[in-house]
Amino acid sequence: MRYKKLGTTDMKVSEITIGTWAIGGAGWGEVDRKQSIDAIHQMVDHGVNFIDTAPAYNSGMAECVVGEAIRNIRDKIYIATKGGVTNIGNHTVRDSSEENLFKQCEESLKRLQVDYLDLYMIHWPDYNVPFEETFTAMEKLKKQGKIRHIGVSNFSVPQTLDAERYAKIDVIQLPYSMVNRSQERFLKWFHDHKIGVMTYGSLSGGILTGAFRTLPKFAAGDIRPAAYDAFVEPKFSRVMEILKTLDTIAEKHNVPVAQVTINWNLKKEFVDTALVGVINPQQADENCACMDWELTEVEMEVIDKKIEDVLGDQETYCRQMNNPWAVGYRD
């Protein structure tokens, strides 16, 4: 396993972070709790020391699974979770008020069975609560010893700078993958300004593992078509063209396509750690095996050119399509 210092924090984290959205079990098809726990243990055994979760992942279910998994290995793992998004029935609402953040932080600590969080992030910007209230509350949680570092997820550069008027922002989390490079320019900016960079959506809901070769018909309530536009035409067919290039490189290295995908993410110098979803031990083994080899610079250039030829300027594309993940353009 390889490690990087996360921004200016004291955390030296694995370049792969365990992503737990699917482990929550809502909107991702069949997910087995024991398999999920075994997968977390397997990732840790491979040297992964960072895990990301959130109460919004199936109303705290992901946090409960993580809490059970890390009960006896707390000293081996850094824990990141989030606040500011609350589940109400089948809907989620943003609420980054002091009252709700204090409440959610306590609930997360209980579900995770820990005394403190290594990183606590605001999940999404809340346009109804002043940043002064939100990030003053985060500083209070830090002074109380309940959180060690403060981060933001899905924030633009201007929003992050605004938040820094009230609290030190240690980490940013944004989407980034071969098929969503809309935030690349902003991720570089954060990295250059010494803010730790976590990226999510590395495998784009699984499409970049090569598991989907025809447009899938997901069950009602499956989150993937809404969360990942690569599962919607015409982008789906374009992504299939990229997979042909990945297939060739994967065959050359005798590895699964997912390893090529993760390798590509980790070769980007501005990415400190990339979230990778995992729901069973086999996936854990395959994901971590990507650390046994690296893409060559020529292969990186081939992949990047294919992405550009097929998808073009993704910043412009996301803006034109009003992509909800194009957060870099928000005020």
Cis peptide before 158 (omega within 30 of 0): no
Q: What is the DSSP letter of 323?
A: -
The identity of residue 128, as a single letter, is N
DSSP string, 98-147: HHHHHHHHHHHHHHHT-S-BSEEEESS--TTS-HHHHHHHHHHHHHTTSB
Of 54-68, 135-149, 155-169, 293-307, the least confident: 54-68
Q: What are phi and psi of 276, to 5 degrees?
A: -130, 120
Domain chopping of the chain, boundaries: 3-329
Contact 69, 37 (CB under 8 A): yes
Residue 103 in tokens: 């409440």
Q: What pLDDT is attached to residue 150?
A: 98
How far apart are the C-alpha atoms of 20 and 111, rounded to whole Å? 14
Greater confidence (28 vs 222) lies with 222
- Statement: residue 110 has pLDDT above 90: yes
The whole-model pTM stands at 0.91
SS3 label, residue 47? coil
* Closest alpha carbon to 303 in 211, 228, 234, 208: 208
* Predicted confidence band of residue 222 (pLDDT cuts 50, 70, 90): confident
CATH topology of domain 3-329: TIM Barrel (3.20.20)
Active site residue 57: yes
Q: What is the mean pLDDT of the chain?
A: 91
Average pLDDT over residues 34-53: 96
Q: What pLDDT is attached to residue 326?
A: 46
Residue 26 in tokens: 């809502």
CA atoms within 13 A on the CB side of 75: 1
Q: What are phi and psi of 233, to 5 degrees?
A: -75, 150
Of 106-110, 112-116, 154-158, 313-317, the least confident: 313-317
Cα distances (Å, whole numbers) of residue 285 to 66, 196, 308 = 18, 26, 31
Residue 179 in tokens: 């098929």
CA atoms within 13 A on the CB side of 282: 1
Q: What pLDDT is attached to residue 268?
A: 96
**How many angstroms from the chain centroid is the CA of residue 150?**
16
Active-site option among 57, 78, 120, 166 = 57
Q: What pLDDT is attached to residue 58?
A: 83
Greater confidence (32 vs 146) lies with 146
pLDDT in tens, 197-217: 999 999 999 999 999 999 998
- Statement: residue 90 has pLDDT above 80: no
The identity of residue 201, as a single letter, is G
Average pLDDT over residues 76-104: 91
